[in-house]
C-alpha cells in the first residue's frame, strides 16, 4: 500500500458487514490445510515490532457440540494443536477472502466442564469443555533464534565459525573499521573483508544466515529500505544469548525514527510462503538535517468519523511530555592533535625547561629532586660512578629529566582548542572553553602511517587497499651526532632514533621518556654537579647527550568540546527544554596548526601548515540520528484508539501513519504510526475492530 487510505462515508466502507471468521490448521509447514469448523475465533492482535508479537486466540470445544456451520451435533475429542500452523481468514458476504493472521500455536488453556453422556440414554461418560489456543506470529521465531555463529568469506566460499565478531568492529583506539566482504558471497555479504556494513546489508545477512530452514519457510526484507542505506554503527561481540529479534531492534532502532512489522508473505494461490520484516518510518513527512533525510512514510490513513454509525468509540490522548524546544545529538569529546614545544621551539632557546613562560612542554620535576639526583648516593665515594648511578635509578627520581607536560593554566589558542557550531563545523578564530584540572594523554594520535600531513588535504602514500595504523605520539629532539654527520646547524631526530622510549601521561597532558641514564637529557643543566657518573651530559665529545630545551612532542588528547549537532524544533517557544540522543563513538578529530608531523631527511621538522584541519568528522553519521530524533520529538505525542463494530480486515494498516481522525465535526491531528490492529470475537460477543496509533516509548 502506498498513498492515503480514507476510512469514512463514501470511501473505504465502515458499514457493518457480518464476515465469517474461519480458522485453518496444518501440523507442519507445507502440509495441507484443515478447516477447524468447530473453532470459535476469539481475538487477533496484529502488532508492529515495537509493540509486541502478533497473536491469535481461538477456542475449540470437546464433547457433544454443534458448530455454527454444521447441520447436526457431533462428538469432538480434545484437539492436539500445539506446534501446528494456523491461519485466520475473513470471508465477507460477497465471498471475498482476506487472511488476517498466520502463525504457529504455542500455548493452550482448557476450561473443563465435567462430563456428559456420549449419546442420548447412554451412561458412558464423555469429557466436556473448551480448549483455548494461543498462536503467535512470525516474530516469535525471531525471539527463539539465538545468534552465536557467523559466516566468513574464504576462497570465494563461505564457512561458518563458532563466534560472532560484531558488525563494523572497532580497533583498540575506538576507530570504526569495516569487516564485511566487498561483494555478496552466496547471496549476502559475509564477514572477513574490510568494507563497512550498512544497516540493510546487515539485515539481509541476519535474515538469510540465521533464519534459514529446510522446510521451505522464507524470510525477506521489505518496506522503506532506502531508510536503511546508511553505515551501521559498531555492534560489538555478541553473546550466545542474543537473538535475531534483539538484532532487529538494534539494526532498526526507534531512536532513528524507524520501526518494523513482521508480516506473512504469500505465494501462488495465496498460500503462505513465509514472513517479511517490513520497515517503516514513524512520520508522514520528510525530515532532513545537514543533508541526511529520514524519508517520509508514504502509507497514510485518515479516519472520517462523522455520520459513521458503526464507530463505537474514538479516544484521543495528547501528551507533550516528550516534546522539546531543541533536539541535540551528542558524540564523543573532540580529539585534538597538537605539538607541545620546549623552550627552543617555543621561541625561548635559553629559557629554563622548568619555568620558560612560552614553553608548552615543561619538565615535571622539582629543583630539589634534581639536586638530590645530581648529588648522587649519600656517603658514596665521589669516584664510585656505579654506586651513584645505581642510586639515581630509584623510583623517587623517575620524573627527573624524563617527565614533561603542558603547564597548568596553559592558554590554548583558537587553533588548539577548536569551538564548534550547531552543525559541528569548526568556528575559525574562536577558542572553546577548557580546563586544566582533569587531563589525560591518548596513547595514539589521529595521524595514520604513510600519510603526508604537510599537505591540505593530506595525501595517502600507502599502497592500494592498505590499512595503515594510527601513529603513536611523535617526540623529537636535537640530534648532535647527526649534526656532526650532516654538517647542519640544527638537526632533529625522533625519540626512537635517539634511543629514547616514549610513553604518555595518563593523568596529565604530556609524555614520559625512558633514558639510560636519566641525565642523558640533562645537557645544559648538569653544571658540574658533585657525584661522579660514567656519562657526562656536558661533555662536548658525548653526542648522545640531549638538551631538554630542544624537545617537542606531538600528542593527542580529548578536549573539553564535544561533537554536537543541535536543531531548534519548529513548534513553540524556546523554553530551554532539550532532548539529547547520545552516540558515544561518533568522533571529530582536529589537527592543530603548525603540528610537527614528521622529520625530513635533513633533520628538519615537517609541520601541518599554518591552518588547522579536520581529519575526521562523524557529523554526517550523526545527522541521520538527528533526523530520526526530530521525527520523534517534532510534535507533541498523540495516541488514538478508534473502535468499530464488526470485523474489518484492516491488518495491512499496521505501519501506516494515522494523520487525522475526524469525529463529530472536529478534526484531531495524530501524525503517529499505527502500531496495532485488534479484532475481537468470542462466544456470544459482538465483533469489533480496534485501530491503535501512537509512538512507542
Distance of CA 179 to the CA centre of its chain: 16
Residue 293 is predicted with a pLDDT of: 81
Predicted local distance difference test score (pLDDT) of residue 67: 74
137/484 Cα distance (integer angstroms): 81
Whole-number pLDDT of residue 697: 45
C-alpha cell at 115: 462430563
Q: Tell me the pTM.
A: 0.77
Contacts for 424-427: CB closer than 8 Å, 24+ residues apart:
424/563, 424/564, 424/565, 424/588, 424/617, 424/619, 424/622, 425/619, 426/590, 426/612, 426/614
Residues of the chain with pLDDT under 70: 1-2, 9-18, 68-70, 116-124, 170-176, 214, 233-241, 305-308, 322, 528-530, 532, 570-573, 634-636, 664-665, 696-697
Alpha-carbon distance of 133 to 650, in angstroms, equals 23
Q: Does residue 457 have a cis peptide bond before it, meaning omega lies within 30 degrees of 0?
A: yes
CA end-to-end span of the chain, whole Å?
26
Q: Is 278 in contact with 263 (CB distance < 8 Å)? A: yes
Give me the phi and psi of 386, to 5 degrees please: -65, -45
Q: Give the pLDDT of residue 237.
A: 57
CB 355 within 8 A of CB 574: no
pLDDT at residue 634, rounded to an integer = 67
Placement of cell 647542519 in the chain: 488
- DSSP, collapsed to helix, strand or coil, labels residue 626 as helix
pLDDT of residue 664: 67
CA 628 centroid distance within chain: 13
CA distance 269 to 347: 85
From residue 683, alpha-carbon distances to 112, 282, 648, 687 in Å are 16, 37, 18, 10
The pLDDT, as a whole number, for residue 696 is 54
Q: What is the pLDDT of residues 297-342, one digit of tens each?
A: 999 999 886 546 788 888 888 877 767 788 888 999 999 999 999 9
Task: Please answer whether residues 78 and 20 qualify as being in contact, where contact means their C-beta atoms are separated by less than 8 angstroms.
Answer: no
Residue pLDDT, tens place only, 635-663: 667 888 999 888 888 999 999 999 888 77
Domain ranges of the chain: 3-135+638-693, 143-292, 331-629
The CATH architecture that domain 3-135+638-693 belongs to is Roll (2.30)
Amino acid at each position: 500500500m502506498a498513498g492515503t487510505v480514507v476510512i469514512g462515508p463514501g470511501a473505504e466502507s465502515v458499514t457493518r458487514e457480518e464476515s465469517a471468521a474461519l480458522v485453518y490448521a496444518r501440523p507442519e509447514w507445507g502440509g495441507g490445510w484443515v478447516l477447524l469448523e468447530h473453532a470459535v475465533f476469539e481475538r487477533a492482535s496484529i502488532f508492529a515490532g515495537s509493540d509486541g508479537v502478533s497473536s491469535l486466540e481461538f477456542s475449540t470445544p470437546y464433547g457433544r457440540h454443534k458448530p455454527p456451520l454444521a447441520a447436526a451435533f457431533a462428538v469432538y475429542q480434545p484437539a492436539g494443536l500445539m506446534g501446528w500452523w494456523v491461519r485466520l481468514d475473513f470471508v465477507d458476504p460477497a465471498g471475498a477472502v482476506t487472511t488476517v493472521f498466520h502463525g504457529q500455536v504455542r500455548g493452550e488453556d482448557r476450561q473443563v466442564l465435567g462430563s456428559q453422556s456420549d449419546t442420548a440414554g447412554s451412561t458412558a461418560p464423555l469429557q466436556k469443555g473448551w480448549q483455548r489456543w494461543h498462536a503467535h506470529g512470525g516474530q516469535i521465531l525471531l525471539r527463539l533464534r539465538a545468534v552465536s555463529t557467523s559466516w566468513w568469506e574464504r576462497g570465494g566460499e563461505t564457512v561458518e565459525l563458532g563466534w560472532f565478531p560484531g558488525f563494523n568492529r572497532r580497533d583498540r583506539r575506538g576507530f570504526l573499521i569495516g569487516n564485511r566482504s566487498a561483494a555478496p558471497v552466496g547471496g549476502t555479504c559475509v564477514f572477513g573483508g574490510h568494507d563497512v556494513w550498512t544497516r540493510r546489508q546487515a539485515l539481509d545477512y541476519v535474515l538469510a544466515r540465521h533464519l534459514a530452514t529446510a522446510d521451505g519457510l522464507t524470510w525477506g526484507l521489505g518496506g522503506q529500505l532506502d531508510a536503511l542505506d546508511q553505515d551501521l554503527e559498531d555492534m560489538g561481540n555478541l553473546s550466545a544469548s542474543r537473538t535475531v529479534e534483539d538484532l532487529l531492534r538494534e539494526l532498526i532502532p526507534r531512536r532513528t525514527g524507524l520501526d518494523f512489522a513482521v508480516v506473512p508473505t504469500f505465494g501462488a494461490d495465496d498460500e503462505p510462503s513465509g514472513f517479511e520484516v517490513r520497515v517503516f518510518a514513524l512520520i508522514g513527512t520528510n525530515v532532513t538535517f545537514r543533508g541526511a533525510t529520514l524519508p517520509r512514510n508514504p502509507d497514510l490513513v485518515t479516519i472520517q468519523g462523522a455520520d459513521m454509525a458503526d464507530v463505537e468509540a474514538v479516544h484521543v490522548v495528547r501528551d507533550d511530555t516528550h516534546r522539546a524546544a531543541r533536539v541535540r545529538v551528542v558524540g564523543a569529546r573532540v580529539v585534538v592533535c597538537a605539538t607541545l614545544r620546549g623552550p627552543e621551539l617555543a621561541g625561548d632557546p635559553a629559557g629554563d625547561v622548568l619555568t620558560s613562560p612560552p614553553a608548552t612542554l615543561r619538565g615535571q620535576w622539582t629543583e630539589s629532586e634534581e639536586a638530590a639526583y645530581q648529588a648522587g648516593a649519600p656517603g658514596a665515594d665521589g669516584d664510585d660512578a656505579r654506586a651513584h648511578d645505581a642510586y639515581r635509578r630509584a623510583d623517587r627520581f623517575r620524573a627527573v629529566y624524563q617527565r614533561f607536560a603542558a603547564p597548568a593554566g596553559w592558554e590554548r589558542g583558537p587553533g588548539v582548542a577548536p569551538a564548534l557550531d550547531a552543525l559541528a563545523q569548526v568556528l575559525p578564530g574562536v577558542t572553546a572553553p577548557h580546563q586544566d584540572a582533569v587531563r589525560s594523554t591518548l596513547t595514539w594520535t589521529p595521524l595514520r602511517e604513510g600519510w603526508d600531513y604537510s599537505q591540505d588535504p593530506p595525501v595517502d602514500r600507502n599502497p592500494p587497499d592498505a590499512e595503515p595504523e594510527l601513529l603513536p605520539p611523535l617526540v623529537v629532539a636535537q640530534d648532535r651526532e647527526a649534526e656532526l654527520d650532516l654538517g647542519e646547524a640544527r638537526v632533529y631526530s625522533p625519540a626512537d632514533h635517539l634511543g629514547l622510549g616514549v610513553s604518555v601521561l595518563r593523568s596529565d597532558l604530556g609524555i614520559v621518556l625512558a633514558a639510560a641514564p636519566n641525565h642523558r637529557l640533562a645537557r645544559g643543566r648538569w653544571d658540574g654537579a658533585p657525584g661522579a657518573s660514567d656519562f657526562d651530559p656536558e661533555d662536548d665529545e658525548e653526542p648522545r647527550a640531549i638538551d631538554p630545551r630542544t624537545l617537542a612532542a606531538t600528542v593527542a588528547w580529548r578536549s573539553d568540546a564535544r561533537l554536537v549537532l543541535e536543531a531548534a524544533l519548529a513548534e513553540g517557544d524556546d523554553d530551554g527544554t532539550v532532548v539529547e540522543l547520545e552516540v558515544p563513538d561518533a568522533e571529530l578529530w582536529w589537527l592543530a596548526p603548525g603540528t610537527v608531523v614528521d622529520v625530513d631527511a635533513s633533520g628538519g621538522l615537517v609541520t601541518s601548515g599554518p591552518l588547522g584541519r579536520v581529519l575526521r568528522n562523524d557529523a554526517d553519521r550523526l545527522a541521520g540520528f538527528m533526523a530520526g530524533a526530530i521525527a520523534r520529538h517534532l510534535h507533541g505525542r498523540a495516541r488514538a484508539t478508534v473502535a468499530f463494530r464488526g470485523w474489518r480486515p484492516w491488518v495491512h494498516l499496521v505501519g501506516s501513519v494515522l494523520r487525522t481522525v475526524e469525529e463529530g465535526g472536529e478534526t484531531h491531528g495524530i501524525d503517529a504510526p499505527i502500531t496495532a490492529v485488534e479484532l475481537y470475537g468470542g462466544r456470544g460477543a459482538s465483533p469489533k475492530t480496534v485501530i491503535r496509533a501512537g509512538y512507542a516509548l
